[in-house]
Structure 1
Amino acid sequence: MRASDMAPATPIPSFGLLDLNEAAFPSQITDPDYDLSRRNCEEPIQATSEAVMPDSDPMPQRSAFGAVVLTMNDRPDEFPRAMASLQAQEGVDLEIVVVGNGCAPHNPPKDVRTIELPENLGIPEGRNIGAAAVGGEFIFFFDNDAYLPSRDVLTRLAAELQRDPRLAFVQPRIVAPDGRTTLRRWVPRLRAGDPSRPGTVTVMAEGVVAVRRSAFEEVGGWPGHFFLGHEGIDLSWRLWDRGYIGRYSPSIMVEHPATRPERHSIYYRLNARNRVWVAKRNLPWVLITPYLATWIILMICRIRSWAALREWFQGLREGIIGGHGKRDVMSWRTIARLTIAGRPPVV
């Protein structure tokens, strides 16, 4: 989903230590039953003549997914292709909702629920509303310009989540339409040089990710008031603080255009504001200054435009002033687990 020219609707004012081995006001809803209150290697067995064998093999358990897609009706070519690839998934029970962020979704596929929001509430809150509108033990958040190149993407994501109850989210590998290129920012870890290396991760790429519903609801979902940017860090940290972990599974691939987030007019300001909000919501006071200092230095080095840098510092000031919401400080045990996993919460 492209967020160009988006603006907020209102003024912006334990499971033990890590095992390395492993938001909303819909004005029109097409489903009359929609309820906004729902945010809701074994050893081989040697058969003998005395063994009692079952009459038949048990039916394999099918996973249930709720898929959430946001739209602003700005991708007339990519959206139908994305939806067709989603509806083509096999081996799972799938319920799909398309959320129109400030619009009525144009030409949604048949048998797909739609929600029209009267105004653009931002990406994380739009996804919260969508998640509340669908069932399933797992939730698949899917950008409307992404594409599932095979019919078993969801079954493989579900298999990962079912394999380990500690897993709160699974991040597939995101590749450009050429099927090979993975941008560094799509790899959810610091050492991103080899995008084909799987492992435990502490953050996620929000646009294409599978999340365990019970864990998602336990921590309250996405931070809806963020509008755009860093909501994945906030959600991931809160999940880790409840004892969960995340996993990057690059053998499961999803295609996505290699667009630049800087194309959004509000990108730099919200990037900085939300960076402060993430810190103030989750970190002990003693770590907030090192965390922000690290990112100030990094952004000064990365941003080549003085105008963009001014925007970034404006957002930094807004974040310091307030508006971050409730503080739910992570434990030092969580900080240790994040550090062991490869990304201490100061970078």
Structure 2
Amino acid sequence: MSLPRIGVVIVTMGNRPRELDALIASVDRQDAAPARVVLVGSANPLTDVAYDVTKIPLKDNPGCPGARNVGLRTLCASGDVDVVVELDDDGLLVADDVFRTVQELYAADPALGIVSFRIADEQGRTQRRHVPRLRSDDPMRRGLVTAFLGGGHALSVPMLDEIGLWPAEFFFGHEESDLAWRCLDAGWKILYEPGLVLQHPKTSPARHATHYRFTARNRVWLARRRLPFPLVPVYLGVWTVLTLARIRSLSGLRAWGGGFAEGVRTACGPRKPMKWRTVWRMTRLGRPPLI
């Protein structure tokens, strides 16, 4: 059985040099060496990075999905890789067999599109929001899912060739949902594999100043782009109720309301709603595209 070739994409803004050095060192320690590692500098010249990797400095910050697309295009066009592993620059691969395990998973199942790693802090604990299932507090439960974690994951290059890359216009937030829904709609699988661990500091998404605005705008865009028309108001209604129940600050609520309005009135990109059979498939996997 031939094993797929692994490529790696890491995006950095240059504000985590110590963490980035540790991450690249953990990539170098893997017992299955990647064919190529691409480091994308988002508004970062990468002049302080001494590692022997492919460096692509960008003058501006195109957002997380836009910067990742730069790395993906480089690897997909090279013909050198079959699977791309994307890693947050403040993450760490704590085991040395991560890439070999990824290779074995893809070699065993040609329909595998995305593999989601488990995100754990320095004590090995996984936050509830990092478990890609509803009503599940068990981060060690392996299986097929409808979502994946942006901090650490693997993407099939043939899948990307078929469905396209990240939605760069999202800039930050819910780009994983857009890619996951396209993956499932094209018949590919998403596997959550808790044995693949990316160590990552415990964080809150609200640490980003634009979190509430982008969250609201991108949810509206996601619904407009990917859902059948009858499900759009249901999806947005459910998330409006949940948001009103969760937000604790008036400033956050105002930012969320502004983002929601922006999502309604601005262009969301090409509309290609998922098939009803994909809706049913996601429902059978435990997460209909409503929550």
Q: Judging changes above 3 Å, is the alpha-carbon distance between structure 1 residues 90 and 109 closer, same or farther for their aligned structure 2 residues?
A: farther
* Maintained 8 Å contact 1:122/1:228: yes
* Secondary structure of the structure 1 residue equivalent to 2:17: coil
* In 2, Cα distance between equivalents of 1:291 and 1:173: 27
State yes or no: 1:152 paired with 2:97: yes
Shift of 1:278: 0.7
Partner of 2:181: 237
CA contact 1:62–1:93 (8 Å) conserved in 2:
no
Identity %: 39
Alpha-carbon deviation of 1:335? 0.7
1:173 alignment partner in structure 2: 118
Retained in 1: the 8 A contact 2:44–2:59?
Answer: yes
Query: Offset of 1:64 from its aligned partner?
Result: 1.1
**Residue 297 of structure 1 corresponds to which residue in structure 2?**
241
**Which blocks of at least 5 consecutive residues in structure 1 are unaligned?**
1-59
Q: Is the 8 A contact 2:3 2:103 kept in 1?
A: no
User: Which piece of structure 1 moves more, 193-202 or 154-163?
Assistant: 154-163
The one-letter amino acid paired with 1:333 is R
Q: Deviations over 1:11-56 (max 9, x none)?
A: xxxxxxxxxxxxxxxxxxxxxxxxxxxxxxxxxxxxxxxxxxxxxx
Q: 1:212 aligns to what? A: 156
Return the index of the structure with the highest Cα Rg. 1
Asked if the contact 2:3/2:107 (under 8 Å) is kept, the reply is no
1:318 to 2:262 alignment: yes
CA distance in structure 1 between the partners assigned to 2:29 and 2:35 by the alignment: 10
**Structure 1 residue aligned with 2:70, among 126, 129, 134?**
129
- 1:100 & 1:170 partners in 2: Cα distance? 25
Deviation at 1:174, TM superposition (A): 1.1
Give per-residue Cα distances to partners, 1:307-342, cap 9 Å, x unaligned. Answer: 101101110000011221000111111111111111
Which residues of structure 2 form unaligned runs of 5+?
Answer: none
How far has the Cα of 1:106 moved from its partner? Answer: 4.0
Structure 2: how far apart are the matches of 1:245 and 1:201? Answer: 8
Q: Deviations over 1:188-211 (max 9, x none)?
A: 111231001111110111121001
CA–CA distance in structure 2, aligned partners of residues 250 and 110 of structure 1? 29
Q: How many residues align?
A: 287
Matched, 1:90 2:31: yes
| Matched residue SS, 2:92 | coil
Q: 1:299 and 1:106, CA in 2 relative to 1: closer, same or farther beyond 3 A?
A: farther
Within the candidate set 92, 112, 115, 2:56 is matched to 115
Following TM superposition, by how much is the alpha carbon of 1:217 offset from its aligned partner in structure 2, in angstroms?
2.3
TM-score between the two structures when normalised by the length of structure 1: 0.81
Which residue of 225, 228, 232 corresponds with 1:288? 232
Answer yes or no: is 1:143 the counterpart of 2:84: no
Aligned mates of 1:205, 1:219 — CA distance in 2: 18
Take 2:211 and 2:237, find their aligned partners in 1: how far apart are those partners?
20
Q: Distance in 1 between matches of 2:138 and 2:61?
A: 37
2:127 counterpart of 1:200: no
C-alpha offsets along residues 205-262 of structure 1, whole Å, 9 cap, x if unaligned?
A: 1121001011022111110110000000000000100011101011222211112111
Question: 1:154 corresponds to which letter in structure 2?
Answer: F
1:273 to 217, 221, 236: 217
- Report the secondary structure of 1:68's partner residue: strand
Q: State the distance in 2 between where 1:196 and 1:276 align.
A: 32
* Match status 1:336 vs 2:277: no
Aligned partners of 1:62 and 1:92 also within 8 Å = no
What does residue 188 of structure 1 align with? 132
The Cα of 1:132 is off from its aligned counterpart by: 1.3
Name the structure 2 match of 1:263. Answer: 207
| 2:18 is aligned with 1:77 | yes
Q: Which amino acid is 1:88 matched to?
A: R
Q: CA RMSD in A?
A: 1.2
